[in-house]
Amino acid sequence: MGLTLTEKILKAHMVDGEFKKGSEIGIRIDQTLTQDATGTMAYLEFEAMGIPRVRTEKSVAYIDHNTLQSGFENADDHRFIGSVAKKHGIYFSRPGNGICHQVHLERFGIPGKTLIGSDSHTPTGGGLGMIAIGAGGLDVAVAMGGGAYYITCPKIVKVHLTGKLSPWVAAKDVILEVLKRLSVKGGVGKVIEYCGEGVKTLSVPERATITNMGAELGATTSIFPSDEVTLEFLKAQKREADWTPLSADSDAVYDEIVEIDLASVEPAAACPHSPDNVKPLSEIGNMKIDQVCIGSCTNSSLLDMLKVAYILKGKTVHPDVSLSIAPGSKQVLNMLAQNGALGILIDAGARILESACGPCIGMGQSPNSKGISLRTFNRNFEGRSGTKDGQIYLVSPEVAAISALTGVLTDPRTLGDMPKFELPKEFVINDNMVVPPASEEEAKSVEILRGPNIKPFPKTAPLLDKIECKCSLKVGDNITTDHIMPAGAKILPLRSNIPAISKFCFTVCDEQFPERAEKLGQSIIVGGANYGQGSSREHAALAPLHLGVKAVLVKSFARIHRSNLINAGILPLTFANENDYDKINEGDDLVIENLTESVKSGKDIILKNKTQNAEIVCKCDLTDRTKAIILAGGLLSYTKENI
């Protein structure tokens, strides 16, 4: 029986476990990446492990999220990360060099390698044929120290692509189609592998758009083969030596098959407030818009920008629309400047932003009240833009650009013939904003620069045998990490300060939560299905930890958030019977006894609701490794014990 591409790479990297669907496997990690909003914590954790030098083939620290410096905090964090990188053997991509995923694709990703990153959109690397996975900062810290990364051995979905995209229909429309079919929960526990004749028609940046937004399916990752198109891209980046051809065997067996004829894909938009709320433009109609934002790790490649420039050439942005454009990397921005496209964008009235995440993470460009904003990004969760009642639609750069001119949502196919857009034979290469680490000898004298906003990792304690506390919060389905630990320009500077950031925990859902939880001292949170979807931010576990949350009981979890809870030593429980969700309300008095024994034996855990006089059976599916982590009070304590 042949192998899928995913199986080939995973098997070649296995260091622990048995390759059996659904069981836990440990894989060796070749490369890591961090960004600044999660990086400070990851490096504090790495320091706490006491390992002097990273043990990966390549680790890169990027500064791209917290680039709005409205106080000392972000700049201090950048300096801290820069100094840690220098000392511990990590490459440092300075602010201005671009968005981590775009730069990593251009300059560092290698087909067939494994990459984990403290950002949920790390699967962008799948566009180059990598197994690239988003993870919590602590998992990345462990991988930097040479430790394995653990995942559930995934089911593998084949997305069989045939045909060719019609003019003005984009890779973004393909991933929107996949999201429409599979939903934001549809990829949990799965790797999405793209195959078929249609693959050849997509360039590496287009493939990367698709694997990037595969994160919104809840998938472990997504991957494309490494073929001639990959070679062309790497050649143009002067990295052909990094190329290896990779594909699935023709008789590989998949768990699920999705067929997509690229020729039948239509321009679409993900409507508020979920990336899977996808409708064809024809169904939404000529909606009047207020804002257009082009950029983010999903759609900020040179090819995307060249298409936008072609559409905007010689025209002016509609008077009722604000258009912002953030090219994804210094390489992209530089090439736009050199070939004149930047002048076209400026001429048309675009507000050019630095190469960074910017509006995607609510760092500026929040829309007006009830404003309708078309964005080429990957997430449109409520409030994420910084405007609570903002209406965010996720679209391709083509849709964004033409609509910016007309002032209404517009189908780009009305542009008529499309010229051939091709990647350059050679990209402009200048890695002068990537600082290499100091040599082992020099590293000894490198001083770590710590600002006053950088507070240590919160204290953890071994698992309690009895939890007796109240339910401090009850929430519904599809709670995102943007609900649990909101981002935005005001809160992001506190990412290195857990006590301070905790004051904003869950405030999107309930303003009083942080104060209430802190007063209670200990508590349990109750939620619905797909709890914790979205970001890899471990702050969504560390803030509840700081506020005394001992367990989270839900219908189901999103993958990265569940791992982050375990890593923080918070018990992740699920209802054995989902209807029991109705048997708990906020404020109820709850008791769980004999926890140590139940966790060790893997038996069901009984939660008594004293207020409602009910017994609720809870599941806590843990492997031997995750049991040990929970018992130790989190991954940091566990790693220290096991080093």
Q: What does 296 interact with, of ligand MIC, ligand SF4, none (CB < 5 to 8 A by kind)?
A: ligand SF4
Task: Check if the beta carbon of residue 226 is closer than 8 Å to that of residue 129.
Answer: yes
In this structure, what are the phi and psi dihedrals at residue 290, rounded to the nearest 5 degrees? Answer: -110, -30
Q: Which residue in this structure is represented by tokens 């899928």?
A: 4
Task: Check if the beta carbon of residue 212 is closer than 8 Å to that of residue 205.
Answer: no
Residue 391, classed as helix, strand or coil, is strand
The pattern of x and - marking residues 404 through 443 that bind ligand SF4 according to CB under 6 A reads ----------------------------------------
Residue with smaller CB distance to ligand SF4, 58 or 537: 537
Which residue from 30, 119, 139, 580 is in contact with ligand SF4, where contact means CB under 6 A?
A: 119
Catalytic pick from 535, 536, 556, 563?
A: 535
- Is there a catalytic annotation at residue 482? no
Report which of 224, 222, 16 is spatially closest to residue 133, judged by C-alpha positions: 222
Q: Does 121 bind ligand SF4 (CB under 6 A)?
A: yes
Residue with smaller CB distance to ligand SF4, 332 or 599: 332
Q: What does 536 interact with, of ligand MIC, ligand SF4, none (CB < 5 to 8 A by kind)?
A: ligand MIC
Residue with smaller CB distance to ligand SF4, 116 or 405: 116
**Burial label, 430 (beta-carbon count in 10 A; 0-12, 13-18, 19+):** exposed
Residue with smaller CB distance to ligand MIC, 198 or 364: 364
Residue 505, classed as helix, strand or coil, is coil
Give the span between the Cα atoms of 287 and 240, in whole angstroms.
Answer: 45
Residue with smaller CB distance to ligand SF4, 198 or 362: 362
Structure tokens that stand for 501 in this block: 């950031």
Lay out the sheet containing 391-394: strands in order across.
Answer: 278-280, 268-270, 391-394, 372-375, 291-294, 322-325, 351-352
Report the 10 Å Cβ neighbour count for 259.
10
End-to-end CA distance of the chain: 39
Q: Does 494 bind ligand SF4 (CB under 6 A)?
A: no
The nearest distance, CB 119 to ligand MIC, in angstroms, is 4
Using the contact rule CB under 6 A, the part of the chain among 46-54, 87-95, 353-361, 502-510 near ligand SF4 is: 353-361
Q: Does 536 bind ligand MIC (CB under 6 A)?
A: yes
Q: What does 573 interact with, of ligand MIC, ligand SF4, none (CB < 5 to 8 A by kind)?
A: none
Q: Does 376 bind ligand SF4 (CB under 6 A)?
A: no
| CA torsion through residues 176, 177, 178, 184, sign | positive
The pattern of x and - marking residues 449 through 488 that bind ligand SF4 according to CB under 6 A reads ----------------------------------------
- Is there a catalytic annotation at residue 329? no
Q: Does 537 bind ligand MIC (CB under 6 A)?
A: yes
CB contact set of 459 (below 8 Å; sequence gap of 6+): none
Structure tokens that stand for 216 in this block: 């919104």
- Residue type at position 551: A
Structure tokens that stand for 564 in this block: 């982050």
Q: Does 537 bind ligand SF4 (CB under 6 A)?
A: no
Using the contact rule CB under 6 A, the part of the chain among 18-26, 216-224, 532-540, 612-620 near ligand MIC is: 532-540
CB contact set of 636 (below 8 Å; sequence gap of 6+): 45, 48, 49, 138, 457, 460, 567
Residue with smaller CB distance to ligand MIC, 119 or 411: 119
Which residue from 361, 423, 549, 618 is in contact with ligand MIC, where contact means CB under 6 A?
A: 361
Q: Does 61 bind ligand SF4 (CB under 6 A)?
A: no
**Burial label, 49 (beta-carbon count in 10 A; 0-12, 13-18, 19+):** middle
Which residue from 5, 99, 130, 161 is in contact with ligand SF4, where contact means CB under 6 A?
A: 99
Report which of 290, 276, 282 is spatially closest to residue 374, judged by C-alpha positions: 290
Q: Which residue in this structure is represented by tokens 């490198």?
A: 446
Residue with smaller CB distance to ligand MIC, 134 or 205: 134
CB contact set of 100 (below 8 Å; sequence gap of 6+): 33, 34, 35, 60, 62, 64, 93, 117, 119, 297
Report the 10 Å Cβ neighbour count for 585.
12
Which residue from 66, 378, 536, 567 is in contact with ligand SF4, where contact means CB under 6 A?
A: 378
How far, in whole angstroms, is CA 457 from its chain's centroid? 22
The nearest distance, CB 622 to ligand MIC, in angstroms, is 24
- Is there a catalytic annotation at residue 355? no
Which residue from 360, 473, 573, 622 is in contact with ligand SF4, where contact means CB under 6 A?
A: 360
In this structure, what are the phi and psi dihedrals at residue 310, rounded to the nearest 5 degrees? Answer: -60, -45
Catalytic pick from 36, 77, 119, 276?
A: 119
Q: Does 63 bind ligand SF4 (CB under 6 A)?
A: no
Kindly identify the residues of this chain, within the stretch 455-514, that bind ligand MIC according to CB under 6 A.
487
Catalytic pick from 65, 121, 561, 625?
A: 65
- Is there a catalytic annotation at residue 588? no
Q: What does 161 interact with, of ligand MIC, ligand SF4, none (CB < 5 to 8 A by kind)?
A: none
Residue with smaller CB distance to ligand MIC, 120 or 502: 120
Residue with smaller CB distance to ligand SF4, 296 or 410: 296
- Give bridge partners of residue 524 from the DSSP assignment: 471, 551
Using the contact rule CB under 6 A, the part of the chain among 150-158, 187-195, 314-322, 356-364 near ligand SF4 is: 356-364
Give the span between the Cα atoms of 179 and 183, in whole angstroms.
Answer: 5
Catalytic pick from 537, 559, 561, 562?
A: 537
Residue with smaller CB distance to ligand MIC, 112 or 187: 187
Give the span between the Cα atoms of 207 and 24, in whole angstroms.
Answer: 28
The nearest distance, CB 124 to ligand SF4, in angstroms, is 8
- Is there a catalytic annotation at residue 537? yes
Residue with smaller CB distance to ligand SF4, 305 or 570: 305
The nearest distance, CB 570 to ligand MIC, in angstroms, is 18
**Burial label, 157 (beta-carbon count in 10 A; 0-12, 13-18, 19+):** buried
Structure tokens that stand for 53 in this block: 């030098």
Using the contact rule CB under 6 A, the part of the chain among 150-158, 354-362, 471-479, 512-520 near ligand SF4 is: 354-362
Q: At what angle do helices 100-107 and 204-213 cross, to 10 degrees?
A: 140
Q: Which residue in this structure is represented by tokens 């803030």?
A: 543
Q: Does 301 bind ligand SF4 (CB under 6 A)?
A: no
Report which of 409, 251, 375 is spatially closest to residue 304, judged by C-alpha positions: 375
User: Which letter does DSSP use for residue 118 in this model?
Assistant: S
- Is there a catalytic annotation at residue 119? yes
Q: Does 392 bind ligand SF4 (CB under 6 A)?
A: no
CB contact set of 562 (below 8 Å; sequence gap of 6+): 532, 572
Could you list the residues that contact ligand SF4 (CB under 6 A)? 65, 99, 119, 121, 296-297, 357, 360-361, 377-378
Could you list the residues that contact ligand MIC (CB under 6 A)? 37-38, 65, 119-121, 134, 361, 379, 487, 534-537
Provide the annotated active-site residues: 64-65, 119, 379, 535, 537
